[in-house]
Amino acid sequence: MTHPALPATAVPSPDDREAAPAQAHPVPARLLRVRAALARCGAQALLVPSADPHLSEYLPLRWQGRAWLSGFTGSMGTLVVTTDRAVLFADSRYWEQAETQLAGSGIALEKIPTGAATHHITWLARELPAGSTVAVDGQVLGLAGGQALRRALQARDITLRTDLDLFDATVWPDRPDLPAAPVYEHTATWTDRSRADRLATVRAAMAAHGASHHLVSTLDDVAWITNLRGADVTFNPVFLAHLLLSAREATLFVGAGKIDAALAAALAADGLRLADYAQAGDALAALPATSTLLVDPRRITWGLRERVAEGVAVVEAINPSTLEKSRKTAHEQACLREAMAHDGAAMCRFYARFEADLAAGVRHSELSVDEHLSAERAKLPGYRDLSFDTIAGYQANGALPHYRAEPHAFRWLDGAGLLLIDSGGQYLGGTTDITRVWPIGGAPTAAQRRDYTRVLQGMMNLSRAVFPEGTPGPMLDALARAPLWADGLDYGHGTGHGVGYFLNVHEGPQSISKTVPEPQMALRAGMVTSNEPGLYRPGQWGIRIENLLLTVPQPTPEDERFGAMLAFETLTLCPIDTRLVEPTLLRPDETAWLDAYHATVRERLAPLLQAPADAAALAWLDARTQPLDRP
């Protein structure tokens, strides 16, 4: 979608916001309606996960029940409502945001260490008396999480009901309908693997598992297998669908009218028939008893698993498509490099104009930064949308990793401070995600330069890593943290997440984090992973520097007994502000890496900034990519 530029003077002033009339918090009344619904069905607690029937990270409005009921808008969090209490479980990325948004709601915040923590299960088993009933909509409850929940509750003689969706008309009267955006083809211009080829690849993996059928529910997997895209989920070019495969047949369960006749014919030619979105469960119930069904327990809901016909053998393993789509082909890598270059040129245009405005005394806010940067991206070839809500956090707001400026709550860029901008775009030829920090209104302090340099050293450490093929991503996490740890510092989020190819900006299976390594997290050639260490001073500033990395093969080692080695190619092309670097803290090899990176950025982006209208952007690029002054 288009994001037109918003003049800085068009956003509300702080005085305007302070004068706005106070409104009663809507959450207490909603909690009363939920408790009345619990009483009607004889349950003592409601569990509301942040999920939809596809276990998506970003949810269609219809399944944003946790946000609607609690008022907390973070992308992750679990809500529990009992007859007399309500608790939100959220990790450190959201603590400050949650405390602000939950104020006056009657909901308490329970701080958990990571987004994957299951403290809500322990809490329910501990706080509810024996004989209680916990209600949860099985259609949005992950199978693996549901299995752990049932075991814990059964041990305390607590019943789990998964057949209830309490967000009916009496509780949520204006609940949104299913999205109806059309589905379209991701054409051969952008990918060199046909739909038939991808279907054959998945079927070969099914056969290796001994499976006659395979259900795929995660939206990015469905989109990748079918070479289709949509717009049912904000920022993610995916569409609501389930896919059921057998050795010879494939059925795509999708909303009526979302696929036109021409595309339906093309799908039929590849052996893909269409069925109504709501019929996926019925199809599972109709599987022959002699079938063997492959499902991924982390990527299928409890409700769908319960519909599988009795007698059908079930094999639980990671979706083969999750592994396959994480490894971009040479053609996709080339398209992605081009998208990264155009994305970098757009950022140069934005930053040149932005800094010129500040120098001329034009007032900007966090909101206008978002609007102007988004407008530059929207002009680019192949642009479809942002890849997530832009994070433009000034000073203390930058210390909130998932901060989002809103018209009623934002900061003007007044005075001296640090501005953190985490942004990205969705292009037909790839998905981008980049974070930079810029000094505003004066020279940075010695403390800010020290913090920034330590984060930069961690980012460079990981960028330069060489490691054996198949190394689990979590084993590399310490490389990015080591310079911070040496100063007694750390950050609460992961260092890197996989990134899709014109798909979800967060993609598995790889992860570079403190997570316990699992076999499917092994790094392989062709994977794209973020590299984003950070440091956050609550109430002061936040620093995060992020590039996307492509895993690439290293030349064959002299001693082949130790196996093939991999390294990273930095894909992101945008200057790293050296005004924030403390050169005395850098080793010569670190300075050389930074200078070489900037030389590459200048070489790749300058040809895209040759139009007369780009003269200021080209001059900005040249100034920001000069070699670092050595002490």
Q: Which of 128-137, 272-281, 351-360, 515-524 has the lowest mean pLDDT?
A: 515-524
Packing angle of the helix pair 219-226, 195-208 (nearest 10 deg): 120
Q: Residues 266-281: what's their mean pLDDT?
A: 97
Q: What is the pLDDT of residue 75?
A: 84
Q: Judge whether residue 621 has pLDDT over 70.
A: yes
Say yes or no: domain 184-319 is CATH 3.40.640.10.
Answer: no
* CATH superfamily of the domain spanning 25-161: Creatinase/prolidase N-terminal domain (3.40.350.10)
Residues 6+ apart with CB under 8 A from 100: none
Q: What's the farthest any 2 CA atoms get from each other in the chain?
A: 74
Phi (first) and psi of residue 391, to 5 degrees: -100, 110
Q: Residues 48-56: what's their mean pLDDT?
A: 95
- Nearest partner of 323 among 520, 548, 550, judged by Cα: 520
> What six digits make up the tokens of 391?
């994070």
**Which residues make up the CATH 3.40.350.10 domain(s) of the chain?**
25-161, 184-319
How many Cβ atoms from other residues are within 10 Å of residue 244's Cβ?
21
**Residue 269: its H or E element:** helix 261-269
Q: Judge whether residue 578 has pLDDT over 60.
A: yes
Q: Judge whether residue 115 has pLDDT over 90.
A: no
Q: Residues 125-142: what's their mean pLDDT?
A: 96
The Cα 403–Cα 423 span in angstroms is: 12
ω before 509 within 30° of 0 (cis)? yes
Q: What is the pLDDT of residue 539?
A: 93
Q: Residues 49-76: what's their mean pLDDT?
A: 93
pLDDT band at 8 (very low <50, low <70, confident <90, very high): very low
The Cα 554–Cα 533 span in angstroms is: 24
Q: Alpha-carbon torsion 568, 572, 578, 582, what sign?
A: negative
The Cα 314–Cα 127 span in angstroms is: 34
pLDDT band at 17 (very low <50, low <70, confident <90, very high): very low
Mean pLDDT of the chain: 93
Q: Residues 382-400: what's their mean pLDDT?
A: 96
Residues 406-417 pLDDT 10s: 898 899 999 999
pLDDT band at 12 (very low <50, low <70, confident <90, very high): very low
> What six digits make up the tokens of 520?
């499917």
Q: What is the pLDDT of residue 5?
A: 32
Q: Judge whether residue 21 has pLDDT over 60.
A: no
Is there a contact between 462 and 481 (Cβ–Cβ < 8 Å)? Answer: no
Q: What is the pLDDT of residue 97?
A: 87
Q: Residues 120-143: what's their mean pLDDT?
A: 96
Q: In what order do the strands lie in the sheet with 159-161?
A: 108-111, 86-90, 78-82, 45-48, 133-135, 159-161
> What six digits make up the tokens of 327?
């490894």
Question: First and final CA of the chain: distance in angstroms?
Answer: 47
Is there a contact between 366 and 410 (Cβ–Cβ < 8 Å)? Answer: yes
- Nearest partner of 77 among 96, 101, 53, 50, judged by Cα: 50
The Cα 99–Cα 166 span in angstroms is: 26
Task: Enter the CATH code of domain 330-624.
Answer: 3.90.230.10
Look at phi and psi of residue 34 and say left if phi exceeds 0, alpha if psi is from -120 to 50, else beta. alpha
**Percent of the chain predicted with pLDDT > 90:** 87
> What six digits make up the tokens of 18?
């302070």
Q: What is the pLDDT of residue 11?
A: 33
Phi (first) and psi of residue 532, to 5 degrees: -145, 65
Q: What is the pLDDT of residue 114?
A: 80
The Cα 5–Cα 372 span in angstroms is: 5
Q: Residues 307-331: what's their mean pLDDT?
A: 96
**Which residues make up the CATH 3.90.230.10 domain(s) of the chain?**
330-624
Q: What is the pLDDT of residue 22?
A: 46
- Nearest partner of 246 among 195, 290, 206, judged by Cα: 206
The Cα 192–Cα 187 span in angstroms is: 9
Q: Judge whether residue 631 has pLDDT over 80.
A: no
Q: What is the pLDDT of residue 236?
A: 95
Q: Residues 154-181: what's their mean pLDDT?
A: 93
pLDDT band at 561 (very low <50, low <70, confident <90, very high): confident
